[in-house]
Each structure stands twice: as C-alpha cells, then as structure tokens.
Amino acid sequence: MTFRSSRWLLATVAAGAVAAAGLGLANRITTAGAAKSEARNVILINGDGMAAAQREAARLYLAGLDGQLAMDELPYSGQLTTSPHDPRTPITDSAAAATAWATGEKTYNGAISVDVDGNPLPTLGAQARAAGRATGLVTTAEVTDASPAAFFANTTDRSAQDEIARQYLEVTRPDVILGGGEDWWLPAGNAGAYPDRPAEDRSETSRGTRGDLVAEAKAKGYRYVSTAAQLQGAKGGRLLGLFGNEELFQQRPEGEGDVYAPPVSLATMTEKALSTLSTNRKGFFLLVEEEGIDEFAHENNGTRMLQALGELEKAVAVARTFAATHPDTLLVVTGDHECGGLTVEDTGTSDESGDGISAEDGPFPIKDSGQSFNLDWTTSGHSGADVPVTAYGPLAEQFTGKHPNTHVHDVLAQVLTR
C-alpha cells in the first residue's frame, strides 16, 4: 500500500477559512428571502476543476462531519453535465466549458466562444454591457485564461491570451479586471510591476504581441494597480489589477516548489469588484474564479487544493453577504469540470489505484473530530464527472435537477440580455 507523505494542514488555516466563510452569518440566506425581487445583478462563481468530491473534501476539512460549506448552504442545488462537442474527446477543458456557460453553445476544447467551425458567438459579458450593466472578472489565474476569456472574447485558440487582452480593452471593455497574467499585457523585454524570470519560475516573462496593453488600458481610462495596497486605494471607475506574471500561485507537486499565497486574496478582489460594479443602477455581471483547485488537482496536490478551496469559500462568503443585502442578485456557485478523478476515502482503505500519479494523498484531518480522510486520485487530467451547482436569488430555482452546462447560460441570459 503506497501513500504520499502525510501532511496535516495547519488548524489555523482551517479555522480562518471557516470563520471568513461566514458560516455563522446572522443574515442567513433563505429560500423565502431569495424569491422577492427581480434579478438585476448576477454573480457566477467558478471553482475551476471542482466537482462533488472536491466539495466534500473541503466540507470535511473546513466545516467538519456535521458542518456545511457556505457554497452548499445556498437553497437551490442541482447537477450539470460537462461534455464538449469535440471529435477527439468527450471530456471538456475549461475553454469549451466556459464557452457553454457564456454562449449557450457547446464547442471543441481550446475554443473561446466560437462554434465548432470557428465562428464567433455572442457572449454574456458583451451582452450584459450592451444592456447597460457593469461587468467584471476576478480570478487567481491569468485574467486572460480560458474561463474569464469566454465571457469577454472570441478566439479559436485559448492560448492567444494577448489577443484576448486586446479584445477586453477594445471590444468588450469589462469595468473590472482583477487577477494575474501581466506577462500577456506587455511585449517581450518590457517587464512590468513583476520582473521577468523570477526565481520561483524562470519561464515567466513578458510575451505579448499586441503592444503595451497596460499603457493602452490607462489611456482608455482604467486605473492600473499591481499590489494589495494599490487595490485598496482604488476608488471608482474602471479598474485593471494584475498581481503576478502568470497565475497567482505556483502549481507544482507537493514539496516541489508548490506555493499558494496570492498577493491579493480572491475574497479581497471579489469585495472590491462588488463595491465597484454595484454603483451601476442597471446592475452588473461578475465572474469570480478560483483557478488553484484545478491546477493543484492536475498535480494531485491535495494540500494545496484544499487551501485553494478554503480561499474559494471566503470569496463565496463575500458574495453571500452581498446577495443577502441585495435581493435582486442571482448568485450561482459551480465548477466547470472535475479534475483528478478524485475520491474521498477512509484512511483504513487499501490503496487500490497504485503508485505514482494514482497514489493516495493524506491523511487530512476532519475538523473538530479525531478522524481523518484520504484523497485518492485516478488521473492527472480532467474527468467527465457531473459538477454540483448551488444558487440563491431570483431564478435560482431553475438550477434544480440535472442539466447540460449550457443551462447556466440559459438562466443567466434571462437577466443579462434584457
């Protein structure tokens, strides 16, 4: 029986995540309170790579045997299938999955809001702006990565991140853009706030081919920030915040330089985005994404994956608090696909899946108990497992039952395109 080295996550991290998640909010979200208003705002939260096993592992670790995650306390729940329309595989990537959300059409892996023939499709981000709403995106990935890109750009190849950034500025113009990926906004040789080839990853370097897009953003009225202090001091107006060369973490196997310590937390970025976007009297659309769940699951790194899930919980808490005091807000929490083929197992179970990439991971403590659990990986890639979806607010009841992932678009469009 082969196990990875046991790693007990710090109790203070778990306690802080649960406290920040607002599990004891006095202003509890209820089904009755969710149905009183017509939706004006939409908050879509993506735990990239998060399916049922990831949510259950987070629940045990962060909330305990009898506890609940903030994302699971939302009053309506259902399931989404995730398969793409790709002749090569029935398993989706983030680009095809986000395209289904953003456009209502399934497409091939790698596509950013284009159909299977490469034709551009209308996106919810652009449609929300056309309807007079404020729009924004928050992510711990590059801001031009697949999931946010699908809502605000069209390209046949998700890797064209400098072109995606250009489209943000010149075509769809989101009001708030917060996350990582400064390298794609600057031409080669023009390091920005974050130096090229940092010690933690020598491959990170400015690589844009569309000119100095940071300068262009400033010329178009965006305030550019690159630190937590600058973000805190930003008041109103369009906002571009890039807080790292690429992702806001280092996605590596456990003990091999893996780091999850974003310069600005997902919850902080979410709070700033909400305070900025909510000044629009016609409402807003905000996409929030925690990328670390997927990236660390690709490395079968349970320690960091749980840490990222804890940070997602804090961001959900921020959104829950906002929705509880703004009953015209539809809040949806889901994942674009599953990553890792994950199962939550008892620590006494033999490791059926073997060594290497499929070795068990753990044990991890169950909060407020003497028990623990293992994580058993079966792949370093994505799987076809359904993903849970939970929701609160006007139209949230439409997420009950089992639906294709295009159903997210169908519900959100009822708010954002009118």
Is the CB of residue 260 less than 8 Å from the CB of residue 309? no
What is the bridge-based pairing of β-strands 329-334 and 387-392? antiparallel
Phi, psi of 83 (to 5 degrees): -65, 140
Q: For the chain, what is the radius of gyration of the CA atoms?
A: 20
Distance separating alpha carbons of residues 331 and 337, to the nearest angstrom: 19
Task: Please name the helix (run of DSSP H) or strand (run of DSSP E) that holds residue 150, with its range, or none.
Answer: helix 146-152
The count of other CB atoms within 10 Å of the CB of residue 348 is: 6
Max distance between CA atoms of the chain, in angstroms, equals 60
- CA–centroid distance for 365 within its chain: 25
Q: Which residue has the tokens 């939970």?
A: 390
Q: In angstroms, what CA-CA distances link 248 with 181, 261, 289, 414?
A: 8, 7, 12, 33
Is the CB of residue 359 less than 8 Å from the CB of residue 4? yes
The count of other CB atoms within 10 Å of the CB of residue 200 is: 11
Distance separating alpha carbons of residues 95 and 122, to the nearest angstrom: 15
Catalytic residue among 77, 94, 226, 265: 94
Phi, psi of 138 (to 5 degrees): -135, 130
94 is catalytic: yes
Q: Which of 200, 168, 201 is nearest to 184 (CA)?
A: 168
Is the CB of residue 368 less than 8 Å from the CB of residue 11? no
All residues at 6 or more sequence positions from 286 whose CB lies less than 8 Å from its CB, including other chains: 41, 42, 43, 44, 135, 136, 137, 138, 176, 270, 273, 274, 277
Phi, psi of 53 (to 5 degrees): -65, -40
Distance separating alpha carbons of residues 136 and 152, to the nearest angstrom: 9
Task: Please name the helix (run of DSSP H) or strand (run of DSSP E) that holds residue 332, with its range, or none.
Answer: strand 329-334
For the annotated catalytic residues, the residue numbers are: 94
